[in-house]
Amino acid sequence: MLELVKAGGWPMIPLLLMSAAGLAIIVERAWALRRKAVLPPGLGEEVRAWAVRGRLDPTHIDSLRNTSPLGALLAAALDTRNRPREEIRERVEDIGRHITHRMERYLNALGTIAAAGPLLGLFGTVVGMIQMFLGVMDYGVGDVNQLAGGIGKALVCAATGMIVAVPALMFHRHFRARIDGYIVAMEHEAIQLMDVIDPRARRVAASVPPLAPGDAVPVQG
């Protein structure tokens, strides 16, 4: 491995730095975006049970806010539970944007690494080819070692650029898709909580009599 790095020359230095940075981002985001850390199992049901029982004192809400991104979103809805539903929705959407921004932390840098890796590899290839042609100018085409050194540098840098870019691109897309799924799930939990804490929704649900076993459900034609 060390011999390959030496063969690539100084253009390998930024590629290795980008590789280390990309690996650190991947490990950090994989840990931070674990499902149980973002969407703790059963948290939505527990908060809705709190709301039904009226156990919504500030201590409970602050504790909920610090548990997870989902907890922060549900706490935002509970903070404005006595306001109209539209105001609750606006508050939830505002907090949701901040939560999404935090979950997307470092992903732009990972995307930059995925895009810049092949370019730096190409740059190393160009440097290797320039070195090869300068060797031809100085020593002629008879110096095989000089030609092989330039070609080797070009190939090593190109391969390293792709090795850096491909995993960065794959994990960048993977984390984006995971965050999108989390956002959909958190929106669903927030809507369910708003249905519980909205007085109008509770009154409408209470005013509708339950269906008897033999009753048919009306279908609009």
Domain around 182: 2-201
Does pLDDT of 209 surpass 50? no
Confidence category of residue 202, pLDDT binned at 50, 70, 90: very low
pLDDT given at position 11? 76
Does pLDDT of 208 surpass 50? no
Does pLDDT of 175 surpass 60? yes
Q: Which of 157 and 91 is assigned the larger pLDDT? A: 91
What secondary structure does DSSP assign to 91-157, as a single string?
HHHHHHHHHHHHHTTTHHHHHHHHHHHHHHHHHHHHHHHHHHHHHHHHH-TT-HHHHHHHHHHHHHH
Q: Is residue 80 included in any domain, yes or no?
A: yes
Q: Which of 199 and 71 is assigned the larger pLDDT? A: 71
Domain count of the chain? 1
Confidence category of residue 221, pLDDT binned at 50, 70, 90: very low
Q: Is residue 40 included in any domain, yes or no?
A: yes
Q: Is residue 212 included in any domain, yes or no?
A: no
Does pLDDT of 197 surpass 50? yes
Q: Is residue 210 included in any domain, yes or no?
A: no
Q: Is residue 215 included in any domain, yes or no?
A: no
pTM of the model: 0.77
Q: At what angle do helices 12-32 and 107-139 cross, to 10 degrees?
A: 160
Q: Is residue 206 included in any domain, yes or no?
A: no
